[in-house]
Amino acid sequence: MVTPAPTTASRADRADRADRADRTDRTDRAWAVAAAVPDPELPMLTLADLGVLAGVETDDADGTVTAWLTPTYSGCPAVAEMAADVDRRLRAAGYRDVRVRLRLDPPWSTDLITAEGRRKLAEAGIAPPRPTTTAEAGPVPLTLGLTRTAAAAAPVPCPHCGAADTEELSRFGSTACKALWRCRACREPFERVKEI
């Protein structure tokens, strides 16, 4: 958003603009601090990569900074750890009055994982989730036939060799959000983040 600068500005106008810029700066800095916190379960991803950091607000009047997190799924034990990490890092960065709140609506979906996040997952040998094609919530139906959604029908390429000839070994991997797969081409097992 670019607003042309007026040719003449009162001192009060300039002070007001400087103040607004200052506030934006503080919010941006707080965002950057919270955004860099790693996810406890997928530590190669930051909360920003994962789409878990929903917003950061700073309040000039009382000096508070509020970070909003959208947990990956309700009851996720990692939520408390994420919130504590964000709180600790913001305090370490000099913010004294820190609040971490949960925002459950709209709910988190694997579609919120950024392109950078998907790249980092693949680099770590974890197959990223496929895009969910419909707005329907809940597990993707695995019925064989024409009722399969595009997401369920899409192959899961092996993160090691790229082959599409892969199979699921177990619905649950080392954490509830991952499934254990195997590549039939290179024989390597791998984990993949399940779509939600």
Pick 71 or 128: Cβ nearer Zn ion: 128
Q: By CB under 5 A, is residue 186 in contact with Zn ion?
A: yes
CA gap 75, 141 in Å, rounded: 23
Q: By CB under 5 A, is residue 76 in contact with Zn ion?
A: no
Q: Which two tokens stand for residue 155?
A: 């192959």
| Segment (H or E) for 186 | none
Q: Is-cis flag, bond preceding 106, omega within 30? A: yes
Pick 153 or 161: Cβ nearer Zn ion: 161
Inter-residue contact 19 to 61 (CB < 8 Å): no
Do the bridges between strand 97-102 and strand 126-127 make them parallel or antiparallel, or are there none, so unpaired? unpaired
Inter-residue contact 178 to 126 (CB < 8 Å): yes
| Total chain residues near Zn ion (CB under 5 A) | 7
Q: By CB under 5 A, is residue 122 in contact with Zn ion?
A: no
Q: Which of 84, 104, 161, 164 binds Zn ion (CB under 5 A)?
A: 161
Q: By CB under 5 A, is residue 163 in contact with Zn ion?
A: yes
Q: By CB under 5 A, is residue 54 in contact with Zn ion?
A: no
Q: Which window, 9-17, 65-73, 84-92, 150-158, contacts Zn ion (CB under 5 A)? A: 150-158
Q: By CB under 5 A, is residue 182 in contact with Zn ion?
A: no
Q: Which window, 38-46, 90-98, 119-127, 156-164, contacts Zn ion (CB under 5 A)? A: 156-164
The CB-of-142 to Zn ion minimum distance in angstroms stands at 22
Pick 24 or 170: Cβ nearer Zn ion: 170
Question: Which residues 6+ apart lie within 8 Å of 150 measured at CB?
Answer: 133
Phi-psi region of 104 (alpha: psi -120 to 50; beta: other; left: phi over 0): alpha
Q: By CB under 5 A, is residue 160 in contact with Zn ion?
A: yes
Pick 131 or 189: Cβ nearer Zn ion: 189
The number of residues in the chain equals 196
Q: Which window, 1-9, 81-89, 106-114, 180-188, contacts Zn ion (CB under 5 A)? A: 180-188
Q: How does DSSP classify residue 87?
A: H
